[in-house]
Amino acid sequence: MKISILGAGAWGTAMAIALAERHDVLLWGRFESEMRPLIERRENPHFLPGFALPDNLRLSFSLDEAVAHVAGAGGDALLIVATPVAGLRPLSRQLRGKPVPNLVWLCKGFEEATGQLPHQIVAAELGSDLPVGALSGPSFAQEVAQGLPCALVMASESAALRQLGVAGVHGGNIRVYSSDDVVGVEVGGAVKNILAIAAGVSDGLGLGMNARAALLTRGLAEISRLGLALGGHAETFMGLTGAGDLILTCTGSLSRNRTVGLELAKGKTLETIVAELGHVAEGVNCARAVCELAARLGVEMPIANAVAGVLFGGVAPRDVVGRLLARNSKEESA
């Protein structure tokens, strides 16, 4: 199968490494200056250092070349977008008028300015007739590049694209399930990043494992409430892209969003943390959008609101903990 991956960050590079073992893969990056080290050193020194790029992996900074790589393959091809959510709209605009085949995205989050999910962004920019879908699940780029096992979900309303996505990605140490619940899969992948910041704050303040367990459980309730309000399926939130991704991102040492929370608990400013991180932490970018959307829908999300208060409202992390604990008791299923 021919596959072009658009976006040479950590996740795009890791997927390219994994899929190049079985497919004809091209990895595209936007700028020549960023792609030159990959071409010359056969390594991504900034986003994924220490992992050699397979000899058969093609590299390019020409979007036309990346699209042409898959456009001539008929139905047996995938165009995978691996940019952050903030880059999805501008890239989609660049794809207008090009022979775009089956389109799949890896990004997780709500667009900060509009509050839209990835499928809404793509539909607005490229129309609703294109076969599209989301590939998501609990997966750290470093472990995928290392060849360690992981499980993902290929979500699309198109049964043909689900089948093609599974055929392209499933294999080796990657197991892929399928789902028609694009909204549920996207909501789980987005909101868990916000909750991972909360988990990092909790761990950074030394609040203990009991607190973390409560945070994950009530965080899952927030994901489910928002997802159901947007049309997602209840069972999705108990699966890989709900509970699974939440557990990984809130507890794993490789989680960028959890790292943001740990550093906030130390008293660092958000600006300093983001600068030191050097990577996108999607929970920061979509926290405000999620809270505004939840407010419009009348969905209660106290943990997400607390995170937004720390990130943008000048609220001290320890003060937020006190406010959450002081909330009135309620039925657990509410």
Catalytic residue among 2, 192, 266, 330: 192
Give 47-105 as a DSSP string: TEEEEEPPTT-EEES-HHHHHHHHHTTTTSEEEEE-S-HHHHHHHHHHHTTS---SEEE
Distance of CA 160 to the CA centre of its chain: 23
Distance of CA 77 to the CA centre of its chain: 22
192 is catalytic: yes
CA atoms of 130 and 50, how far apart (whole Å) = 37
Q: How far is CA 20 from CA 41, 149, 194, 245, 282, in A?
A: 17, 16, 32, 25, 27
List, in sequence order, every beta strand (DSSP E) within the chain: 2-6, 24-28, 43-44, 48-52, 58-60, 77-81, 103-105, 132-136, 150-155, 174-179
Three-state DSSP at 167 gives helix
CA atoms of 215 and 217, how far apart (whole Å) = 6
Q: How far is CA 21 from CA 13, 17, 168, 174, 207, in A?
A: 13, 7, 11, 12, 44
In degrees and rounded to multiples of 5, residue 50 shows phi and psi of 95, 0
Contact 92, 121 (CB under 8 A): yes
How many Cβ atoms from other residues are within 10 Å of residue 93's Cβ?
11
CA atoms of 84 and 111, how far apart (whole Å) = 10
Contact 192, 245 (CB under 8 A): yes
Active-site residue numbers?
192
